[in-house]
Amino acid sequence: MHSEMKRKAHFSFAFHSFFRNFAPVKPNIKVMTPTIDTYRLTSMEEPSDAVLSQLMREAAEEAKRSNDEATSRFFEQLRQDAQKISAAW
């Protein structure tokens, strides 16, 4: 019986000595509800109403900003062309 306990103790010591240098591997899987920062249009999951609403709001704001810039550039170019034509006359 005494040798059986020694064998188990030796195995336990060897086992722990061998594996103490190995960090446990934890899968890097996080289950979370998609937010505006984590949702991608390529996702297979449908966005929540709140996420969809925020996506649409941000897209509309970007479209408005882009449209305003294009309109400003157009009218600035129109003014410059009108000045060139006036100077030529």
pTM strictly above 0.85: no
pLDDT digits (tens, 9 = 90+) for 4-59: 665 555 556 555 555 565 555 555 655 566 666 666 666 677 878 888 899 899 99
The answer to whether 33 and 48 have CB atoms below 8 angstroms apart is yes
Q: What are the boundaries of each domain within the chain?
A: 2-88
What are the pLDDT digits (tens) for 8-19?
555 565 555 555
CA gap 80, 12 in Å, rounded: 86
